Structures are given as structure tokens and as C-alpha cells.
Amino acid sequence: MAIKFRGVDFIEFDTLLTDDERLVRDTARRFIEDNLIPIIEECNRAGRFPRELVQPMGELGFFGASLKGYGCAGMSNVEYGVVTQELERGDSGVRSFVSVQSALVMYPIYAFGSDEQKNTWLPAMQKGEKLGCFGLTEPDFGSNPGGMRTRARKVGNEYVLNGEKMWITSGSIADVAVIWAKTDDSNEADSIRGFLVETDRPGFRAEDIHGKWSLRASVTSSLSLQDVHIPAANLLPKSGGLKSPLMCLNQARYGIAWGAVGAAMACYDCALQYSLFRKQFHDEPIASRQLVQEKLAWMISEITKAQLLVLQVGRLKDQEKVKHQHISMAKRNNVWMALECARLSRDILGANGVADEYPIFRHMANLESVKTYEGTHDIHTLIIGQSVTGIDAF
């Protein structure tokens, strides 16, 4: 990498973090600098997920970091947030992998699972020995998950699952899939349940989605379930209704809100350093020009506001006071901000901004996906709108 990251802190933000939070952040930062940054551009070019980093990330406690017990690190939500910030500063695809493993697979097992399910899966997933994926989105239903067509039919001591899932991170490398399906329960509102489906079961198929211009360093798959038989004990017993998968998405969206700050930091710091050594008119650095300074001032202002927003949301989460609309605001604002920072940074670097000698275009392409997954920008707008007006505009 042509430019080494120096950290981004305009208002002594670090003084708002505890010693433990800074230690966790610095540990994650060193890991990313030493292990991911040297290989990420090659991974992005090749469309390769750096699977060799899974075990080391497990050893550092990145998987299920904020869960208690089962070998998990038991981090605070702010500590987990600064980890995701650093992961996404490395690459959105790698942060996505950790988010899915932690917030979308380990969390539902932890929150909705039986003791047997927790003991079977959580310790192995914490170590990265077993990987998971989360099957909610379908080919025809993204923003409206309640329309899902996947069905789970009770037959004796088994459930038989049929359906299709789409845009599933880690689908083809997962050992277990958390599949959300409608049961033949007469109460439609509560009929959506979560099921643990081991991926080696007959009738389960995962196929990678190729041709992505975004999140190229992570595995994205489609899932097909054709008469997949699972024991009734694979039902997540405490899951019920659409609220359950949305609780999982809340966990993931929280991590994204922090992660986007990391991507923005990477772009801004690269553009700032570049503007100081890139000389143009009168043999002077382009950083001496008003138009360039305006871009840098916008970026650092927005990054600083985003840091404060997500820190407060994290503090509320640690106090068990956070509401889903708070997380929606943080996800919506921070991903939008990061994408704008990537575009402005690309502008400052000119043609160099499209070369993978610098991380900017990779972040920009990744953030295009981050803006629309885990609730699109528009859906989060409506969540906030419903919160402030009391009127549901869906």
C-alpha cells in the first residue's frame, strides 16, 4: 500500500473511550495492518475471501465478541464497535464476514436457541472452527422480508424446508445456516421461525454469486432448499415472528454503523496524505488549494459527527436503552457519509483514485453494497420517519 494509515481524530475522540476500549481498538488495528492490508488488494482482484485470517480472528475474540460465555470475549458494545470499525477500515467484505458470524448466526443461537444448540455451536463458532450464514433475504423479497416464500412444514419429529435465499454472505463456506421460514402455524404474524440447517443435509445447495463489482473479498451465495429434512430440535425455540430476524439485523446494523466510520477514515486519511505530497500548479501541493481543502474539511467534519453518533448509540446499547430507530439513524447516516467520503477522496486522487495502489475505489465499490444491505438507505429513512411522526409509511 502506497500510504500507511495514521489514525483520524480531530476532536480528541480517543479521550471519550476507556482504556479498555482503546486497547481493543489498537489490537484490532494492528491485526488489520499486519495481516489484512498487505493482501487485501490481491484478494479483491481475485475475488478471494482471505480464509487464512479466520482462525487468527477467532483467537483474538472477534467472533461473537459481545456475547457472554461459550468462550466468547464478552466485550462491551462499544468495544465490539471499534473492532468492526477497524475491520471495515481494512475491507467491508471482511467486516461483513465477522458481522454475519457474530450478529446474524451466533446471536440468534444465543438469543433464541436451546441449551443444546448453544453448547453445540457457539464454542466452535467463537473459535472459527465452524462457520455460519443467515438466510432471510430471498430473490423476490429484500426490503419486505415478511413476504418470504420459504416454508417449513412439520412432519412427525421433523421439519421439511423448501425455498430460495439470495445474497447470502458466507453461504457456500458455512457449516450451518440460520434459515428463516414460514411454518404452517395458523397465526400468520407469528409463523416466521428460525431453523438451524446443517449445510451437508440432502436437498441443501449453496452456489456462489460471481460477477460482483463490490464486496469481492467476501463470499456471497444463493441458497436452495428442496425438501430439506431437519429434526424438530433444530427449530430455534425462542424465535417467533418477524421480530426475531429483525433483532438479529439490529445487531448487524450496529456493527455496520461503526464499520462505515472505518472505511471513511481510510479514504480520508489516504486523500489527505496524497494531497500533501501531490504537486501541481507552481510546484505546490494540491492541499494548498481551496477546492481541495473544502473537500477535506467536509470529510473530517462528517467523520467526526459520525464518530460521536455511533459512540452514543453504543453507550445506549451498553445501558440497554438503545432503540432500533437509533441504530437505523447511525447506519443510514454513517454509510451515506462514508460513501460520500470515498467519492470525494477519489476526486482528490484523480486518475490514481481508480488504481488499487490506493484503497479508495475498493472502499467506494464496497460501500455501494453496504448502503443497500441490512436495510436500504430509504428503508432506514422510513424507520426514522415512523419514529418521529408515529405514522408508518411502508
Distance CA 91, CA 5 (A): 14
How far from chain centre, in Å, is Cα 284?
40
Amino acid of residue 177: A
| DSSP-based three-state secondary structure for 19 | helix
Buried b / exposed e across 38-52, counting CB within 10 Å, b at 16+?
ebbbebbeebebbee
Distance CA 44, CA 42 (A): 5
Distance CA 233, CA 235 (A): 5
The backbone region for 8, taken as left when phi is positive above 0, alpha when psi lies in -120 to 50, beta otherwise, is beta
* Structural element, H or E, at residue 380: helix 377-389
C-alpha cell at 345: 477522496
Name, in order, each residue with C-beta under 8 angstroms of 343's C-beta and a sequence gap of 6 or more: 364
What sign for the dihedral angle of Cα 352, 87, 217, 214? negative
Q: Beta strand pairing status for 176-183 and 132-135?
A: parallel
C-alpha cell at 31: 491485526
| DSSP-based three-state secondary structure for 210 | coil
Count CA atoms closer than 13 A to 104's CA, side-chain side.
31
Q: Report, in this order, helix, strand and coil percent for the chain, each rounded to 5.
A: 55, 15, 30
Distance CA 357, CA 366 (A): 16
Instruction: Kindly report the number of other CB atoms within 10 A of residue 15's CB atom.
Output: 8
| DSSP β-bridge partners for residue 180 | 194
C-alpha cell at 242: 418477524
3-state secondary structure 179-196: EEEEECCCCHHHCEEEEE
Distance CA 57, CA 31 (A): 9
Query: Could you confirm whether 116 is annotated as catalytic?
Result: no
Q: Which position among 79, 88, 340, 374 bears the catalytic label?
A: 374
Q: Which residues are catalytic?
A: 374
